[in-house]
Amino acid sequence: MDQVAVVGAGLIGRAWAMVFARAGVPVRLWDKAPGVAEASLGLIAERLADLHAAGLVTEAPAAIAARISAAPTLADCVAGATHVQENGPERLAPKQELFAELDRLCGPEVVLASSTSGIPASEFTGNLAGRGRCLVAHPVNPPYLVPLVELVGAPWTDPAVVARTRALMDRVGQVPVVALKETRGFVLNRLQAALVAEAFRMVRDGVMSVEDVDACVKDGLGLRWSFMGPFETIDLNAPGGVADYAERFGPLMGGITEEQTPFDYDAATVERVAEVRRAALPLDAIEDRSGWRDRRLMALIAHKKGQAG
């Protein structure tokens, strides 16, 4: 049986531990900060109970949690692992140091995957002896509920490593997608960046309020996008499919993109949006609201599973 090492026991690391454990895979969890990995086991047990209550896992939460153990050292964490999922700081130097240590500790057959949100694997694996077994496996937060995983190799990543990682992600219930080359921010973030930047611009330019921009997505685009991607969406939005859509709406949509200059997240606009959000949700309530988000995601996932096809 595969054994997975999860390095870093923060929000993403804990979520990854649940992903693997609920699929029957033993997990060792380690964090550089003393006591964090041990404390995370209780948080994981709580989330597993929520999943069980939502009907998203049928196995007893305690049985799933029993597959996850906290390791006292990084060496203990990766011992016997066939796959390492790294969730360290989103900074280049620490990631370079951590991958150098992982490359030293792990045998050549062990895949080293990073959950980084935007640092290409080529920037932190280039000097490693085992650089061919390294890649990015970028999840969506929280990965135990949102299954997409972007697999992005460096120019030197062995294609067999990408294929092996894709097979593992399939097996544990994730939805892996493969980037054919590195690009800044990866694909998911680039799609998100375009929408978020335009949302800020609409507020900055006085076109619409913060609340109404959010409504455009949650009560508009997001309803379709929860079960269809952008290409399928436009394919169904014109009688003749994509080609018909492009003929009908291409001039309008293309003209809009010509107006979409880079957005620099200016302080005044960010402050304006932050003020509205803090009036709606005080900072000390964010954790509770995140729990609400996760429960709503559970309900949506349960619905999608029931309506599959």
| Residue-level pLDDT at 2 | 86
pLDDT in tens, 220-242: 999 999 999 999 999 999 999 99
| Residue-level pLDDT at 306 | 76
264 burial class (0-12, 13-18, 19+ CB within 10 angstroms)? exposed
Query: What is the three-class DSSP state of 297?
Result: helix
Q: Quick one: which of 159, 246, 98 has its CA closest to 167?
A: 159
Beta carbons of 115 and 139 less than 8 angstroms apart: yes
Mean pLDDT for all residues in the chain: 95
Peptide bond preceding 108 in cis form (omega within 30 of 0)? no
CA distance 282 to 35: 29
Beta carbons of 144 and 47 less than 8 angstroms apart: yes
pLDDT in tens, 11-33: 999 999 999 999 999 999 999 99
pTM over cut 0.85: yes
Q: Which two tokens stand for residue 71?
A: 């390791």
Q: State yes or no: pLDDT of 198 exceeds 70.
A: yes
Beta carbons of 136 and 186 less than 8 angstroms apart: yes
CA distance 278 to 5: 38
Q: State yes or no: pLDDT of 309 exceeds 60.
A: no
Q: State yes or no: pLDDT of 10 exceeds 80.
A: yes
State which amino acid sits at residue 306: G
CA distance 255 to 77: 53
Rg (CA), the chain: 21
Which residue's entry shows tokens 């060792």? 28
Helices within 132-240 (DSSP H only): 159-171, 186-204, 210-216, 222-225, 230-235
State which amino acid sits at residue 94: P
Angle at 27 between CA 23 and CA 31, to 5 degrees: 135
Element (H, E) at 4: strand 4-7
Q: Which two tokens stand for residue 54?
A: 């939502």
Spell out the residues 6+ positions from residue 26 whose beta carbon is closer than 8 angstroms to its own. Answer: 1, 2, 3, 4, 67, 69
| Pairwise pLDDT comparison (261 vs 32), residue with the higher score | 32
Q: State yes or no: pLDDT of 1 exceeds 70.
A: no
The DSSP result for 117-132, as a single string, is: SS--THHHHTT-TTGG
Query: What is the three-class DSSP state of 138?
Result: strand
Beta carbons of 23 and 102 less than 8 angstroms apart: no
Residue 246: other Cβ atoms inside 10 A: 15
Share of the chain above pLDDT 70, in %: 99
pLDDT in tens, 68-123: 999 999 999 999 999 999 999 999 999 999 999 999 999 999 999 999 999 999 99
| Residue-level pLDDT at 235 | 95
Q: State yes or no: pLDDT of 63 exceeds 60.
A: yes
Q: Which two tokens stand for residue 246?
A: 């492009």
Q: Which two tokens stand for residue 230?
A: 């952008």
Query: What is the three-class DSSP state of 91?
Result: coil
User: Considering Cα of 202, then 208, then 209, then 214, what sign does the dihedral take?
Assistant: negative
